Amino acid sequence: MNIYPEHSIVISPIGNFDPEITEPVQKEINRIFGFPALIIPILEDVDFALDSGRNQYHSTSILKQLEKSAPSFAMKVIAITKVDLFIPILTHVYGEAQLGGKACVVSTYRLKDQISAANPGVIFKQRIVKEAVHELGHTFNLRHCKEHACIMHYCRTELDVDRKSDQLCRYCKILLDDEIKRLRKSGMEKKPC
Amino acid sequence: MNRARILIVDDELIMRESLAGWLLRDGHEVQTASSGEEALDKIKEIRFDILLVDIKMEGMSGLDVLKRVKDDDPDVAIVMITAFGAISTAIEAIKNGAFDYLLKPFDPQELGVLIEKIQESQAQAIENLYLREQYKERTRFESLIGQSPVMQKIFDLIQNVAPTNSTVLITGETGTGKGLAAKAIHSNSPRCHGPFVIVNCGAIPEHLMESELFGHQKGAFTDAKFTKKGRLEMAHGGTLFLDEIGEISMRMQIDLLRVLEDRIFYRVGGTQPMEADFRVIAATNRDLHEAIKDGIFREDLYYRLNVFSFKMPSLGERKEDIPLLAEHFLHRFSNETNKQIDNISREAMDEMMLYEWPGNIRELENAIERAVVVSKKRKILPEDLPIFRPEDICVSSDNTLAGIEKAHITRVLHENDWNISKTAKELGIDRSTLYSKIRRYKIVQRDL
């Protein structure tokens, strides 16, 4: 018997992550998206995605593996990793998501940069939470938002991440509600096995 | 940032896919092509705003794609993508009209800034064009003209809906006079003494749209030196005409829906709720059902706008109005240019009746304007018209399309004993078009 609630969002830390990081992510995801959020490690490592020439990890390969390995009750799955991610055409990415799809990944690698001396731990945690919600937002079909304060705003630098709020703007809230309604109507896409 | 239509041209699948994914998440509409040849095929079908083209590809090079595309459509922004070490080719591309180049792999920040820069420059160009068009529109299209049954129906619809306060959605191809129909509804409504405020949703850049519609408070943003009224406020007591509503961004759709539901809005940077009393007429040449399916137009906004709707017929659907419209334009342009041109020759009129007019009334108007300028006689001749193709008239007994058409018309005329009404009905054309074809092909009864 399945002990997990249907249509959950699964948070999958890759490697060791302090609960002080994963728990706020879990809390915020639950608050913003309104679905149960569970912390369940799915991938042990992401060595399969390593590009030795670039010494970076190909985020799209991670998404494919994540989607394949996601448990049946997972409506969406988000991985959190410490490694530096890339897509072939770009120098780096903070994360990647399947737009309107199931999987996304966020990297903490560059979120440590340009951190102010005051409360570095708190700021680092906030950045991870914001970027996790941002990437998950893409899986709910949200695109980048021009509102600088919106969590779906595309941040060019880490300082931009600090400047944006931890909320969706009212436009993105409406678009998220529309998408959730659409998902409910279509039986949350893929029925759990 | 607005949604841009972007084509990625690269022969490496992984590059195409990774760039397409990134741009999709950034809110753009993206297609890909794996070669220059495939890109040119796609461009024939779809008009893209931006092309991201890899310089080095198998077969047709990126530079060749650039030259071919720029020849046909100089307004498309093309960004060349190149590997380190091929910068000289990238510079050559800039000389040939490329907007810029990117060295791969590039920083995501660099790409975002570049796309924004392109969109700003394109929006500026569209706005300039719109302002020029608006200036022209003030002196043109002063009334709706038409005697055809299909236009009579439109006049009836306008008469019926004008006195009400209902929202109206006008659809139809470009150049069919949707704006004129909107103006006619306003002029025949109890709001006729109030303002008729036009918002061209396709021409105003998105970043200006919010302040344009809702106005702004002093200090709301860097350039907001004064408090400014928006067009909603300006339309108070009158009609707000939202032209090209199909081009409006998803964000503005959300705002507009709220205004249409509550009739309350806020100026940008303002906290005080504003109210305005206006009637909304919207127009589009886009298939909004398709746009809803594609997820780029909100269904709730569509139903809010589509209280009463009608479609303006294309000129092809009201060919019998061509003589009337042509005479009207001739009169106007001969007055404006001080050239005494009395009429349009029968042969020139035949050419106009046979032509399909994909640009509709606007194209006809431009054709007559040009004819008036180039005409050396007191009569418009076929050769004065930009649509005139003398080679099309060469009718021979071979298998040319014209030859087959002549033979077919002749046969159907014979079968119907030269009964013009019956023949026209059987051929699926109207009587005036049939007469034009008889004259054009010089069909006489002895041909039988």
pLDDT at B47: 82
Do B252 and B399 belong to one domain? no
Is the pLDDT reported for residue B173 higher than 60?
yes
CATH class of A8-185: alpha beta
Residues A97, A78: Cα–Cα separation, whole Å:
9
Same domain for B325 and B296: no
Cβ-in-10-Å burial (0-12, 13-18, 19+) of B380 comes to buried
Tokens representing residue A157 in the block = 């630098």
Mean pLDDT of B106-134: 79
Nearest to B27 among A88, A89, A143 (CB): A143
Contact A99 B18 (CB under 8 A): no
Residue B230: give its domain's CATH number.
3.40.50.300
CB contact under 8 A, B105 and A146: no
Q: Is the pLDDT of residue B292 over 60?
A: yes
For the residues A5-21, what does the mean pLDDT come to?
91
d(CA B288, CA B309): 12
Is residue B136's pLDDT more than 70?
no
* Contacts B18 to A, Cβ<8 Å: 60, 87-90
* Domain final position from B361, B388, B415: B388
Query: Number of structural domains, chain B?
Result: 4
Q: CA dihedral in degrees (B239, B243, B246, B250; nearest 10)?
A: -60
Instruction: Give this prediction's pTM.
Output: 0.65
Q: What distance in Å separates the CA atoms of residue B184 and residue B162, rounded to the nearest whole number?
A: 8
Domain end (from B91, B120, B149) = B120
Residue B431 near residue B422 (C-beta atoms within 8 A): no
Q: Residue A96: its pLDDT value, please? A: 94
Are B301 and B321 within one domain? no
B14, B17, B107 ranked by CB distance to A91: nearest: B107
Across A19-33, A75-89, B208-222, B383-397, least confident range: B383-397
Which of chain A's residues have a Cβ under 8 Å away from the Cβ of B113?
A: 156
Q: Which of B18, B111, B120 to mutate to test the interface with A (most CBs of A within 10 A)?
A: B18
Q: What is the predicted ipTM?
A: 0.72
d(CA B50, CA B427) in angstroms, rounded, equals 44
Cα separation, A118 vs B346, in Å, equals 86
Is there a contact between A88 and B250 if contact means CB atoms under 8 Å apart? no
Last residue of a domain, one of B311, B327, B347: B311
Q: Which of A171-175, B20-24, B45-49 has the lowest mean pLDDT?
A: B45-49
Active site residues of A: 135
Give residue-wise pLDDT tens across range B361-389: 888 998 999 899 888 888 999 888 887 66
Phi, psi of B242 (to 5 degrees): -95, 95
What are the chain A neighbours of B19 within 8 Å (beta carbons)?
A: 87, 89
Residue listed under structure tokens 């959300």: B254
Q: Please compute the mean of the pLDDT values over residues B280-291 and round it to a whole number.
A: 94
Cβ contact A146–B25 (<8 Å): no
Selecting from B15, B112, B206 the residue whose C-beta is nearest the C-beta of A154 gives B112
A148-163 b/e (C-beta count within 10 Å ≥ 16 → b): eebbbbbbeebeebee
Residues B340 and B226 in one domain: no
Tell me the C-alpha distance between B157 and A2, whole Å: 61
Torsions phi, psi of B306, nearest 5?
-85, 50
Whether residues B214 and B353 fall in one domain? no
Could you give the CA distance from residue A165 to residue A145 in angstroms, rounded to a whole number? 13
Cα–Cα distance measured from residue A74 to residue A37, given in angstroms and rounded to the nearest whole number:
9
**Residues B306 and B167 reside in one and the same domain:** yes
Q: Quick check: A63 contacting B, CB < 8 Å?
A: no
Residue keyed to tokens 């334009």 = B329
Q: Give me B443's structure tokens.
A: 């069909």
In a domain, B307, yes or no: yes
pLDDT of residue B389: 61
Average pLDDT, chain A: 90
Cβ contact, residue pair B108, A93, below 8 Å: yes
Q: Are strands B239-243 and B279-284 parallel, antiparallel or unpaired?
A: parallel
Give mean pLDDT, residues B51-80. Answer: 90
- Whether residues B426 and B325 share a domain: the answer is no
Amino acid in the structure at residue B241: F
Least confident range of A42-46, B52-56, B73-77 = B73-77
B145 and B270 both lie in a single domain: yes
Q: What is the pLDDT of residue B133?
A: 58
Average pLDDT of the residues in B283-306: 92
| B410: Cα within 13 Å, side-chain hemisphere | 17
DSSP for B396-431, written as a single string: -SSS-HHHHHHHHHHHHHHHTTT-HHHHHHHHTS-H
Q: Are B338 and B405 part of one and the same domain?
A: no
Residues B302 and B153 placed together within one structural domain of the fold: yes
* pLDDT of residue B252 exceeding 50: yes
> Is residue B131 situated within a structural domain?
no
Q: Is the pLDDT of residue A32 over 90?
A: yes
Distance from CA of A157 to the nearest CA of B (A): 8
* Structural domain that includes position B220: 140-311
Q: What residue has token string 């064009």?
A: B129
Give percent of chain B above pLDDT 90: 28
Top pLDDT among B229 and A142 is at A142
Among the listed residues B164, B215, B208, the one whose alpha carbon sits nearest the alpha carbon of residue B186? B164
pLDDT for position B138 = 43
* Rounded CA separation A152/A92 (Å): 19
Q: Does B294 lie in the same domain as B231? A: yes
CATH number for B416: 1.10.10.60
List, in sequence order, every residue forming a beta bridge with B344; answer none if it has no partner: B380
Mean pLDDT over A98-102 rounds to 94
B14 touches chain A (CB under 8 A): yes
Interface test with B, best of A89, A153, A157 (most B CBs within 10 A): A89
Question: Is B275 part of a structural domain of the chain?
Answer: yes
Sequence ranges of the domains in chain A: 8-185
pLDDT (0 to 100) of residue B143? 58
8 Å CB contact of A90 and B22: yes
pLDDT band, very low/low/confident/very high, at A192 (cuts 50, 70, 90)? very low
Sign of CA dihedral B200, B204, B206, B209: negative
Does residue B127 form part of some domain? no
CA distance A139 to chain B (A): 10
The alpha carbon torsion through B405, B407, B411, B414 (nearest 10 deg) reads: 110
| Residue A84, SS3 per DSSP | coil
Tokens of residue A75, six digits: 């409506």
Which of the two residues, B440 and B91, has the higher pLDDT score? B91
B284 and B211 part of one domain = yes
Residue with tokens 């100026």: B267
d(CA B263, CA B277): 7
